[in-house]
Amino acid sequence: MNIHQERMRVPIKDSQLLSRLLAYAKPYWKMVLLGIVLAFLIVLTDLARPYLLKVAIDDHIGALHKPMLAVDAGREDLLAGRGSILEVDGKAYVRLPADAAPPPEKEGVAQRQIVEIGDDAYLIEGWLKGKETPAVTENPAGGVTLASGGQSYAGTLLSPEQTEAFRKEDRGSFVTIGLAFLAVVAAGSLLTYVQGNLLQYTGQSIIFNIRQQLFNHLTKLSMSYYDRNPAGRIVVRVTQDTEALNQLYSQVVVNLVKDVIVLIGILVIMLQMSVKLSLLAFAVLPVLAFMTFWYRSIIREGQRKARLILSRLNSFLAENLSGIRITQLFIREQRQVEQFDELNHSYYRAGMFTSTVNSIFQPAIGFLGNLAIALLIWYGGIHVIDGTITFGIVFAFTQYIRQFFQPLLSLAEKYNQIQTAMVGAERIFEMLDEKPGIVDSPMARPLQGETRGEIEFDHVWFAYNEGEWVLKDVSFKIEPGQTIAFVGATGAGKSSIIQLINRFYDIQQGSIRLDGVDIREIPLDDLRRRISVVQQDVFLFTGDIASNIRLNNEDISDRELQEAARMVHLDEFIRSQPDGFATRLGERGITLSLGQRQLLSFARAIAFKPQILILDEATSNIDTETELVVQDALQSISKGRTTVIVAHRLSTIQHADQIIVMHKGKVREMGNHYQLLARKGYYHRLFELQYKEQARAQSTAPHAQSTAR
Ligand SMILES: Nc1ncnc2c1ncn2[C@@H]1O[C@H](COP(=O)(O)OP(=O)(O)O)[C@@H](O)[C@H]1O
Ligand SMILES: [Mg+2]
């Protein structure tokens, strides 16, 4: 059943993909059309080159021996429409094609031909039909007789000057044809340049839009999407897959048209020049075409594998470099290096496979092409001597056969690129089709005026993955302006509660209310604007200190910026930096200590002047001395706003108005520090434990505490 579904799905999907891809190209259809027109012109210049050579060879280089018609000067009218006229020694000549049939006898029109024997050229009366070199006998009365094939012709020996006179026009033509050839080549290059730029521009513009749309979309996707998709994979999609699409738009489509025109053009010209030689060429070309496509399909498979490995390699790198701290901490470098080695090796092998196949097939295909040319020389040569085919045509054929290759190879290649692009497109569209899990409800109304900051969890049930309850029937109420703390073992669900307040995930049952309004009925922007969260891992963006605090929010004035920094006691440090607030962070900038990063994230939270401030283990990175500073800062920032603190160190939260003890997704105890201690329950045990630990730590290793992370 599955297989059938697959089969039924694929064609529909492909056509859908195509129509979506076309939709992106639609605004640029004029460019694409122009690209195709240019492609057509480029093909013309490509095909014109061998043709010009053929003309040069047949009509000029080898033209001296062509059958001619001659008339006396002044009677040129008899030759009208027969071709261009050569004037030599008071007579007018016209050259005819080598295989021309003698025209009907006409008064005053004579047949003439030039025959070269050794270094001598003779002008004979009549057309020499024999194939052997004629025998020459001198007539005592002057002139010569040439005998060949049982026929004899009267003739005269031409002086070098006379021969030159017959050649004169040819020499002129070489210049003309040479210039025309040059012009064609130049035009071809120019058109290719213009077309290349045009297509690049088109492709890049389309992809620019797609990438933009993709990124916009990505910023809206819910956290659960990012839980499912590692960042490395997403990066690969946004970069590699869009690049594959770029290829599709900028090269594949238009050049596909071009290749087809070239192939058809060559076939037409060949057939028109010589049917016999065309048939000969066609005997080899199908084999060539077959070989080419076979070869491309092997290569394609190899490249597909290579790309797969590459994207795995990329993800691995992205993931491991961002987790390098952990890797080093847990001394897992060796293991990671081994894994990388493995991936690296398979990538190497994949690359080697393609080049091995290349090294076998390319010469083989080259051989076939040359075989076709050898056949042409053999067969064509015979017929040139016959006089049934001109040398120029044989020569042009060798050129056209060579030219036939290029589009054939590139068609096979295009097929490959289209496949890649389709896969890329599919993945990109899949990403674009991913509905943001969390969206504004149609009934969402902005909150009126200032938030009071009352948060209420009402019988909340929540699971990241269906069936695995992380929060079970959690209820509590935080009054406006209160400071409330969550404690509990790792995995108890504290961070989850915080993510829910921000609505990074939607709950399955119950209700979360801000100022009495279910947060699902508050516009997301509106909700999140009122809440600032400080987490344990601080993410710093590339940029300076100021932009990392205000996160490009222009509403935050410099004064507010300084105020925020002062409140977390970072102002002195910042002032001591070379560029103050404009000091760059991270790459090519200064590195902050973990504690400083944490303080910076506090400043960030404060600068946004939230009504609700949430600290999720935000003080864990801070040493005891700095913590005193932060405690002090906390006191002042928590004034007048609802503050939610998750902390390991109970000392941090002792002054909270309410402490909620979480255990395995449930609220275990609730009350202030003294009430909870008096209950002698879970909190009490935790307190005792930490108290003892602290005492021990202080007595044995007084410095450990202040440097601990
Ligand atoms: N993004 C997530 N996807 C799936 N499970 C998660 C996710 N985040 C946390 N969990 C699980 O939810 C439970 C509660 O985690 P968390 O709220 O982070 O606990 P705490 O902050 O108290 O240590 C844990 O079992 C954890 O494995
Ligand atoms: Mg947590």
Beta carbon of 665 within 6 Å of any ligand 1 atom: no
What CATH number corresponds to the domain at position 346?
1.20.1560.10
CA–CA dist 413, 403 (Å, integer): 16
Q: In this structure, are strands 584-585 and 85-88 parallel, antiparallel, or unpaired?
A: unpaired
Lowest mean pLDDT among 324-333, 350-359, 554-563: 324-333
Residue 632 has pLDDT above 90, yes or no: no
Residue 3, domain member (yes or no):
no
What CATH number corresponds to the domain at position 583?
3.40.50.300
231 and 370 housed in the same domain: yes
Residue 24 has pLDDT above 70, yes or no: yes
Residue 705 has pLDDT above 60, yes or no: no
213 and 136 housed in the same domain: no
272 and 299 housed in the same domain: yes
618 alpha carbon – ligand 2 mean position (Å): 10
Q: In this structure, are strands 151-157 and 144-148 parallel, antiparallel, or unpaired?
A: antiparallel
The 3 state secondary structure assigned to 613-650 is: EEEECCCCCCCHHHHHHHHHHHHHHHCCCEEEEECCCH
Closest C-alpha to 112, from 163, 71, 61, 169: 71
Q: Which residue of 226, 470, 474, 533 sits with most ligand 1 atoms within 8 Å of its CB, as the best mutation to test the pocket?
A: 470
Residue 440, domain member (yes or no):
no
Ligand in nearest proximity to the CA of 499:
1
Enter the DSSP assignment of 248: I
Residue 442, domain member (yes or no):
no
> Which residue shows structure tokens 């990671």?
336
Strand ranges for 118-209 from DSSP E: 120-125, 135-138, 144-148, 151-157
End position of a domain, from candidates 168, 192, 219: 168
| Predicted local confidence at residue 423, as pLDDT | 81
| Predicted local confidence at residue 701, as pLDDT | 52
Residue 441, domain member (yes or no):
no
Ligand in nearest proximity to the CA of 620:
2
End position of a domain, from candidates 138, 168, 198: 168
236 and 137 housed in the same domain: no
111 and 254 housed in the same domain: no
CA–CA dist 684, 682 (Å, integer): 5
Mean pLDDT, residues 395-401 taken together:
89
Mean pLDDT, residues 107-127 taken together:
86
Residue 183 has pLDDT above 50, yes or no: yes
Q: Whose CA is nearest to atom 27 of ligand 1?
A: 491
Q: Whose CA is nearest to atom 8 of ligand 1?
A: 496
* Tokens, residue 537: 């891992």
Residue 137 has pLDDT above 80, yes or no: yes
**C-alpha distances in angstroms, 103 versus 58, 109, 127, 659, 687?**
21, 10, 12, 116, 121
For the chain, percent of residues with pLDDT exceeding 70: 95
Q: CB-based contacts of 82: which residues, under 8 Å, 6+ apart?
A: 69, 94, 96
| Predicted local confidence at residue 279, as pLDDT | 87
Mean pLDDT, residues 216-225 taken together:
85
Ligand in nearest proximity to the CA of 489:
1
* Tokens, residue 88: 């030599």
Mean pLDDT, residues 388-394 taken together:
86
Closest C-alpha to 499, from 471, 469, 466: 471
Q: Which residue of 438, 464, 502, 663 sits with most ligand 1 atoms within 8 Å of its CB, as the best mutation to test the pocket?
A: 464
**pTM score, whole prediction:** 0.68
Residue type for 107, please? E
Residue 384 has pLDDT above 80, yes or no: yes
571 alpha carbon – ligand 2 mean position (Å): 29
Q: In what order do the strands lie in the sheet with 658-663?
A: 531-534, 612-616, 642-646, 483-488, 658-663, 666-671
| Predicted local confidence at residue 2, as pLDDT | 36
| Predicted local confidence at residue 709, as pLDDT | 38
Beta carbon of 488 within 6 Å of any ligand 1 atom: yes
* Tokens, residue 246: 């770029």
Q: How many structural domains is the chain composed of?
A: 3
For 540-589, the pLDDT digits (tens) are 888 888 988 988 888 888 999 998 898 888 888 888 888 888 888 876 66
Enter the DSSP assignment of 58: I
Residue 44, domain member (yes or no):
yes
Q: CB-based contacts of 706: which residues, under 8 Å, 6+ apart?
A: 623, 624, 625
Which atom in ligand 1 lies closest to the alpha carbon of residue 488? 22
400 and 343 housed in the same domain: yes
Other Cβ atoms within 10 Å of 223 Cβ, number: 15
Residue 445, domain member (yes or no):
no
Q: In this structure, are strands 483-488 and 642-646 parallel, antiparallel, or unpaired?
A: parallel
Residue 280, domain member (yes or no):
yes
> Which residue shows structure tokens 């891809």?
21
Strand (E) or helix (H) holding 462 = strand 455-463
Per-residue confidence band for 162, with pLDDT thresholds at 50, 70 and 90? confident
Mean pLDDT, residues 271-290 taken together:
84
> What is the Cα gyration radius of the chain?
43
* Tokens, residue 293: 């496509």
CA–CA dist 520, 170 (Å, integer): 88
Burial of 29 (0-12, 13-18, 19+ CB in 10 A): exposed
For 80-114, the pLDDT digits (tens) are 888 888 888 888 898 888 777 777 777 888 888 88
Residue 502 has pLDDT above 70, yes or no: yes
- The whole-chain average pLDDT of the chain stands at 84
Q: Is 679 left (phi over 0), alpha (psi -120 to 50) or beta?
A: alpha
568 and 677 housed in the same domain: yes
Residue 707 has pLDDT above 50, yes or no: no
Per-residue confidence band for 13, with pLDDT thresholds at 50, 70 and 90? low
Beta carbon of 419 within 6 Å of any ligand 1 atom: no
CA–CA dist 621, 648 (Å, integer): 11
On whether the CB atoms of residues 665 and 492 are closer than 8 A, the answer is yes
Strand (E) or helix (H) holding 476 = strand 469-478
624 and 665 housed in the same domain: yes
Q: Which domain holds residue 71?
A: 64-168
CA–CA dist 394, 400 (Å, integer): 10
Closest C-alpha to 380, from 479, 281, 287, 461: 281
| Predicted local confidence at residue 659, as pLDDT | 94
Other Cβ atoms within 10 Å of 244 Cβ, number: 22
| Predicted local confidence at residue 10, as pLDDT | 41
491 alpha carbon – ligand 1 mean position (Å): 6
Beta carbon of 67 within 6 Å of any ligand 1 atom: no
Higher per-residue confidence, 401 vs 2? 401
Per-residue confidence band for 3, with pLDDT thresholds at 50, 70 and 90? very low
End position of a domain, from candidates 168, 200, 226: 168
Phi, psi of 416 (to 5 degrees): -60, -45
CA–CA dist 373, 286 (Å, integer): 15
106 and 179 housed in the same domain: no
Burial of 318 (0-12, 13-18, 19+ CB in 10 A): middle
Residue 610, domain member (yes or no):
yes
Residue 456 has pLDDT above 90, yes or no: yes
> Which residue shows structure tokens 């001591």?
576
**C-alpha distances in angstroms, 197 versus 41, 106, 168, 189, 248?**
16, 60, 44, 12, 15
On whether the CB atoms of residues 475 and 460 are closer than 8 A, the answer is yes
Beta carbon of 498 within 6 Å of any ligand 1 atom: no
654 and 555 housed in the same domain: yes
530 and 598 housed in the same domain: yes
**C-alpha distances in angstroms, 110 versus 62, 67, 98, 339, 469?**
21, 11, 16, 89, 108
CA–CA dist 181, 49 (Å, integer): 6
90 alpha carbon – ligand 2 mean position (Å): 109
For the chain, percent of residues with pLDDT exceeding 90: 21
CA–CA dist 639, 619 (Å, integer): 18
Closest C-alpha to 646, from 464, 484, 530: 484
250 and 346 housed in the same domain: yes
Strand (E) or helix (H) holding 592 = none
* Tokens, residue 182: 């040059």
Q: In this structure, are strands 483-488 and 509-514 parallel, antiparallel, or unpaired?
A: unpaired
> Which residue shows structure tokens 């050839």?
181
For 664-700, the pLDDT digits (tens) are 999 999 999 999 999 998 899 988 888 777 777 766 6
Map residue 490 onto helix, strand or coil: coil
On whether the CB atoms of residues 36 and 255 are closer than 8 A, the answer is no
Mean pLDDT, residues 517-524 taken together:
90
Beta carbon of 495 within 6 Å of any ligand 1 atom: yes
Per-residue confidence band for 658, with pLDDT thresholds at 50, 70 and 90? very high
